[in-house]
């Protein structure tokens, strides 16, 4: 009887060890599958980021060309805009909402979210050069895309907006605009 008990206990121990081994195997496999899946997701994210960064923009000596929907615009640094202001032959458009000031020589103030509704205020010539800006460049990027949607083809965006303009040692002016 003692040997039968020992066999039962041994069998019980062996079966529990066998269960441990059988559950440990898939657990390890599951962990490896989880890690491999995470690695695949990370690699895809990196690939997408590289594609967006390289495929959506192209740097030139005068700025960065950005591929929009239906055309391109160029993000220009503050020093390029300052040089262009000396022989101003473009429409300078402030699209920051709410109004917080502007660059001296601004032609129009139209909030970025009103461009379509106020398109009649924009140049009639769709090939006329337009430089658009806001505080940091995010609203003006939206405005640049809106201008593309409206058919404009010669668009530049102040990279970094008024923040970059001021950081470059230049000033803003306050006018009575709403």
Is there a single domain that holds both residue 24 and residue 112? no
Which DSSP string corresponds to 118-157? TGGGS-S-TTS-EEEE-SSSHHHHHHHHHHHHTT---EEE
**What percent of the chain has a predicted confidence (pLDDT) above 90?**
64
Q: Is residue 178 part of a domain?
A: no
Instruction: Scan for tokens 């066998």, then name that residue.
Output: 18
Interval 30-56: pLDDT, tens: 665 555 455 544 444 443 333 334 445
Residues written for the chain: 178
Is there a single domain that holds both residue 38 and residue 94? no
Is there a single domain that holds both residue 44 and residue 102? no
Interval 147-169: pLDDT, tens: 999 999 999 999 999 999 999 99
Is there a single domain that holds both residue 88 and residue 137? yes
Number of domains composing the chain:
2
Q: Is residue 98 part of a domain?
A: yes
Please say if the pLDDT value at position 22 is more than 60.
no
Q: pTM score > 0.75 for this model?
A: no
Is there a single domain that holds both residue 131 and residue 153? yes
Q: Is residue 103 part of a domain?
A: yes
Is there a single domain that holds both residue 79 and residue 123? yes
Q: What is the CATH number of the domain that holds 74?
A: 3.40.250.10
Domain that holds residue 46: 1-55
Is there a single domain that holds both residue 5 and residue 48? yes
Least confident of 51-60, 98-107, 110-119: 51-60
């Amino acid at each position: 009887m003692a040997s039968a008990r020992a066999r039962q206990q041994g069998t019980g121990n062996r079966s529990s060890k066998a269960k441990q081994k059988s559950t440990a195997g898939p657990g390890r496999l599951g962990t490896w599958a989880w890690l491999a899946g995470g690695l695949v997701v990370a690699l895809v994210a990196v690939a997408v980021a590289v594609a967006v960064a390289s495929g959506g923009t192209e740097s030139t000596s005068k700025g960065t060309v950005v591929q929009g929907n239906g055309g391109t615009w160029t993000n220009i640094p503050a020093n390029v805009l300052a040089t262009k202001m000396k022989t101003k032959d473009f429409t300078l458009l402030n699209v920051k909402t709410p109004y917080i000031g502007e660059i001296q020589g601004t032609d129009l103030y139209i909030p970025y979210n009103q461009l379509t509704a106020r398109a009649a205020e924009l140049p009639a010539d769709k090939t006329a050069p337009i430089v658009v800006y806001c505080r940091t460049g995010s609203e003006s990027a939206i405005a640049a895309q809106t201008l593309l949607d409206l058919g404009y083809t010669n668009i530049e965006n102040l990279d970094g907006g008024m923040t970059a303009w001021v950081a470059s040692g230049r000033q803003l002016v306050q006018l009575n605009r709403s």
